[in-house]
Structure 1
Amino acid sequence: MSWLLEHASAPIKYRAITEIARTADPTSPEVDWLPYSHRSAIRLAVTQTRDGMWNQSVLSIPGRHSSDFTGVGTIPAVRRLAEYGWTSDSPPLVFSRRLLFRLLAEDNDPAFTFELGTKTKDDDLVRRTRGLFREAAAATLAQMGYENDPRLRGAARRILERTVSYLNSPLGEKPWMRVGNSHVLAPESAPPSIYTLTMLSRMPIFRHEHFSEVERIYYWITQPLPRQEVVQLFGKKMVPQPHLIMGDVLPHRNAVDADVPFALTWLETMARLNFLRRNDGWMKLYERFVDDRDRNGIWHPHKGLERPTTTHPWAWSTFPLDDGSAAESKFTDVTFRIGLIGKLLGREIELI
């Protein structure tokens, strides 16, 4: 803990103090200023436009080699600010709220397809895009703390009903259909997405009210992951759907090593869902992270000395929260996440 407080960025310090050590209240004047002092967070916030959006985009993320937030979409930007520790009543998050709630609507208005819109009218792709944005917006609003808002609860109920109905249907038992030489998901397929899992992980009361439905999702996401790429048929087009979860996305340590930030995002989400402690495989992978810490509790990678990077769009908002400009700060993000997951598991955290 002392190492994090010395070397980590202000947002990580704030969250370590308030969420892991819990030695201060999040609203305490001694610490509540920390998230808003971080230069990267300020730089991201001031690029928001008056309509509450970033770059007239919803889900876009900066390029892999981008050193700033160029091209970032509204949902990744809002989630990154929330991960930095900015509260839902901070101006950028307040300004984005209207759009996020609008995206929850059950309509297929092409005006709300933004960066995924097409010049030619395509009702199938509009339906796909609106569904994608709807689930991502629900996940973001849940993360912002709007669980009790009836608009979010209504959207969450519809998303969950649609998902569980699919899982319990004959199509859920045999999800793949053959098109030419490829196996794809049928247009009406609705498996759980990473957005749905994130939404549920941030709505504990809602989960309790829909316990059996959430349990059904657990059994789905722990089944063996199919080998084929997740592609879904929309009209005559086959569209990649990497956000859909067709099984266990973290079956072994090679999957962890391939993308450490996403692995931690997944383990944290599973911990919030109370799924992590029930799954021996995931717990072993988490314990491996714990074992990779040194005597001071600092995590180090198995190979090399570089900070881990991610290629997963949903993990972008969670990593990194530290600019990593100094050698000592390269591993603060992973060290923080290990502690946070441990706290979510109910473990006693030793403040070294």
Structure 2
Amino acid sequence: MDLPGRHVIPVSWLLEHGSEPIRYRTLAELAPRDRVAPGSLESLAEALVASKAVSAVVKKQRDDGVWGDNFTALAPSKTLGLKDVGTVPQYRRLLQLGVPRTQRAFRLAERVFFRVLSRDEDPALWFEYQKLVKGTPEAAPWTREQLREAATAALGESGFEEDPRLRGAAHKIANAVSQFLRGDLAAKPFVRVGGQTVLHPEAHPPSWYSVAMVAAMPSLRRERAGFTERLGHYLAQPAPKKEYSLLLGKKAVKPQHLLLGDPIDADAKGNAKDIPLALHYIELLAKMGALQWAPVASRVLARLVADCDESGVWRPKNLRTVPKALNRISYHMFPLHEASKTADDRVVDVTFRLALIARLLGWELQYV
């Protein structure tokens, strides 16, 4: 199944059926300028900031800018002592909801992010990894890298692309990933230790955060075009199926954020098991200009687009619920439309996301 290269953008339908975030982003990012009435964006922005979806996130932020007493957690966990979703996912969710960058919640969190990027040695900046680093000092370098990648991705998505602090952090991350992609470890990243499969200690593969960083920073992609292309080809290959761990000192940790290839699980017809994850990944590849090299992601996108009606609304057969996320990595971007009572509610998010991806890919667009 080939990608069509054209798409119908259902602007009127999204404005009628979408929640405040969907309506605002449709008008701001998808609608032709001549269909945006004077003052309409401003009034929608006011409604968005006051909406339940935004309030549910903002009210959980502490005065120091932190959410959930942690930095990167995608869900609460009693086992790990995590009370709620962490600072980076919540910040990124506000971005995806379309909240204006001038809101106080952003400024508070950004202070924390820039402290993480600095050489600040405050133990509190280890966040949920304080216990791990204290008990296993060998985990400190890996932990610092993960926290900085997450902060860099969030700041890049928020428009700090030209900030010298962010540029320095981004190039450092890109250097590490580029070295991995150029070396032998890209093809054979695992070793056996004590009867278990672990990531080679010198391997620095891309992560959801580093890929999001590249996708969010056009200037970085221009300056490092060769690296971006190598990364795109790497992300197009199938991810390994085997279970593996990170060995930090004597402690084995299951990584949740690494990308050793295309993570989309789909059948031959392009039906993805985790549609939110697939849409998130496809959007990242589209921003990077790398979708053309990814056969599974392209097949899934073709399937999703084929299930749209003549108005561009996603209408798959036998859909009884909103597509469920099996991996919480898509928490920040799906769903943006919280209601799920009606048949239209169930398809709003995918319809919006497909329209956005079609625009990113430069397809021929028709607006209705």
Flag whether TM exceeds 0.5 (same fold).
Answer: yes
- Give the 3 Å change call, closer, same or farther, for CA 151–261 of structure 1 in structure 2: same
Work out the number of aligned pairs and report it.
Answer: 347
Matched, 1:287 2:302: yes
- Give the 3 Å change call, closer, same or farther, for CA 310–6 of structure 1 in structure 2: same
Q: Which residue of 2 aligns with 1:207?
A: 221
Q: Which amino acid aligns with 1:331?
A: V
Aligned-pair distance for 1:137? 0.8
Kept in 2: contact 1:21–1:349 (CA 8 A)? no
Q: Which residue of 2 aligns with 1:60?
A: 73
Q: Which residue of 1 aligns with 2:352?
A: 336
Q: Which residue of 2 aligns with 1:194?
A: 208
Cα-to-partner distance string for 1:57-85 (whole Å, 9 max, x where unaligned): 11123459xxxxx7121111111111010
Q: Which residue of 2 aligns with 1:322?
A: 337
Matched, 1:8 2:18: yes
Aligned-pair distance for 1:165? 1.1
Matched, 1:238 2:238: no
Q: Which residue of 1 aligns with 2:64?
A: 51
Matched, 1:181 2:221: no
Kept in 1: contact 2:236–2:295 (CA 8 A)? no
Whose relative contact order is higher, 1 or 2, with alpha carbons under 8 Å and at least 6 apart?
2
CA RMSD of aligned residues (A): 2.3
Kept in 2: contact 1:87–1:144 (CA 8 A)? no
Q: Which residue of 2 aligns with 1:67?
A: none
- Give the 3 Å change call, closer, same or farther, for CA 162–142 of structure 1 in structure 2: same
Aligned-pair distance for 1:302? 4.6
Local SS of the residue matching 2:366: coil
Q: What is the alpha-carbon distance in structure 1 between the residues aligned to residue 271 and residue 104 of structure 2?
A: 36
Local SS of the residue matching 2:45: coil
Matched, 1:21 2:36: no
Q: What is the alpha-carbon distance in structure 1 between the residues aligned to residue 32 and residue 48 of structure 2?
A: 16
Aligned-pair distance for 1:29? 2.6
1:274 to 286, 289, 304: 289
Q: Which residue of 2 aligns with 1:167?
A: 181
Q: What is the alpha-carbon distance in structure 1 between the residues aligned to residue 354 and residue 39 of structure 2?
A: 20
Kept in 1: contact 2:245–2:252 (CA 8 A)? yes
Q: Which residue of 2 aligns with 1:39?
A: 52
Kept in 2: contact 1:230–1:244 (CA 8 A)? no
- Give the 3 Å change call, closer, same or farther, for CA 163–13 of structure 1 in structure 2: same
Local SS of the residue matching 1:318: coil
Matched, 1:115 2:128: yes
Kept in 1: contact 2:236–2:293 (CA 8 A)? no
Q: Which amino acid aligns with 1:348?
A: E
Kept in 1: contact 2:207–2:257 (CA 8 A)? yes
Local SS of the residue matching 1:133: helix
Gaps of 5+ in 1: 65-69
Aligned-pair distance for 1:110? 4.1
Q: What is the alpha-carbon distance in structure 1 between the residues aligned to residue 69 and residue 232 of structure 2?
A: 35
41-50 or 293-302: bigger deviation: 293-302
129-138 or 37-46: bigger deviation: 37-46
Question: What's the TM-score once normalised by structure 1's chain length?
Answer: 0.91
Identical positions, percent: 34
Q: Which residue of 1 aligns with 2:89?
A: 76
Q: What is the alpha-carbon distance in structure 2 between the residues aligned to residue 179 and residue 249 of structure 1?
A: 25
Q: Which residue of 1 aligns with 2:149?
A: 135
Aligned-pair distance for 1:127? 2.5
Q: What is the alpha-carbon distance in structure 1 between the residues aligned to residue 240 and residue 300 of structure 2?
A: 20
Gaps of 5+ in 2: 1-10, 78-82
Q: What is the alpha-carbon distance in structure 2 between the residues aligned to residue 274 and residue 199 of structure 1?
A: 14
Cα-to-partner distance string for 1:179-213 (whole Å, 9 max, x where unaligned): 13322112221001110000000100111001111
Q: Which residue of 2 aligns with 1:99?
A: 112
Aligned-pair distance for 1:12? 0.5
- Give the 3 Å change call, closer, same or farther, for CA 34–277 of structure 1 in structure 2: farther
Q: What is the alpha-carbon distance in structure 2 between the residues aligned to residue 337 and residue 183 of structure 1?
A: 37
Question: What's the TM-score once normalised by structure 2's chain length?
Answer: 0.87
